[in-house]
Structure 1
Amino acid sequence: MDSAKFAFQAQFYKNDIMMSLGTETRPPVLVDENEFTQWQDRFLNFIERQKNGDDMMKILTEGSFEKTILASGMTKPIAEYTPDESLQYKDDRDIKANLMLALPNSIYN
C-alpha cells in the first residue's frame, strides 16, 4: 500500500472516530447503525452536559413544545410567546439541531 493512500485511510479513520465520539461542542455522530446503543449513551451524555441539557432531556422524554402547542390548539406567532414558551421553543430548536448533526441522512429522513 502506498504511503499516501495509507495516510488518507488513517486520517479518514481518525475523522470517523472523532465524529462518532463527538466533542464538547458537537454531538457524537451515529456512524454505524449497528452501534446505536453506544451512540445513544454518548448522545444523551452530550445533551446532559449542555447548559440547557435538563430541558433538552425533558423534550426527548416528554415530547416537543411545538407538538404540545399544536395538540392544544393554541396557535400564536412566536413573537407573542411568553418568556417560558420562548425558552421551550429554543430548547426544541436546540435538540432538533443536535439530532440533525448526530444522525446520518438515511436515519434522520
Structure 2
Amino acid sequence: MQSRRAELFYWAAILFSNTLGTALGDFLAGDSGLGFGGGALLIGGALAVVVALYYFTSISRVLLFWLAFVLTRPFGATFGDLLTKPVERSGLGFGTQGS
C-alpha cells in the first residue's frame, strides 16, 4: 500500500539525486581539482563503502539503498565525463557517438 509520505520521500530523493548529484559530480570534476577520474574514484569509493556497510553491518538496508541511489548520479556524471571528454580536458576522449 502506498502512502503520501512514501511518495513524497521518493520524489524528494529523485529530485535530490538528479539535481544535487549532478552538481556534486560537476563540482568534483571541475572546481575541486580532482578531475573526472578523481571525482569518479571518490564517488566510486563512497559507493564501495556503502556496499561494505551492507555486508558487514546491521545498518538499515533502506538507508543504505537510498545512500547508494543518491551516489549513483554523481558517479554517472563524473565517470561519463571521464569517458567522453577530450584528453586535453582530462577525459579519455571516447566521445559521445560510435563511429
Q: Same fold by TM-score, threshold 0.5 exceeded?
A: no
TM-score, normalisation: structure 1: 0.31
TM-score (norm 2): 0.34
Larger Rg: 1
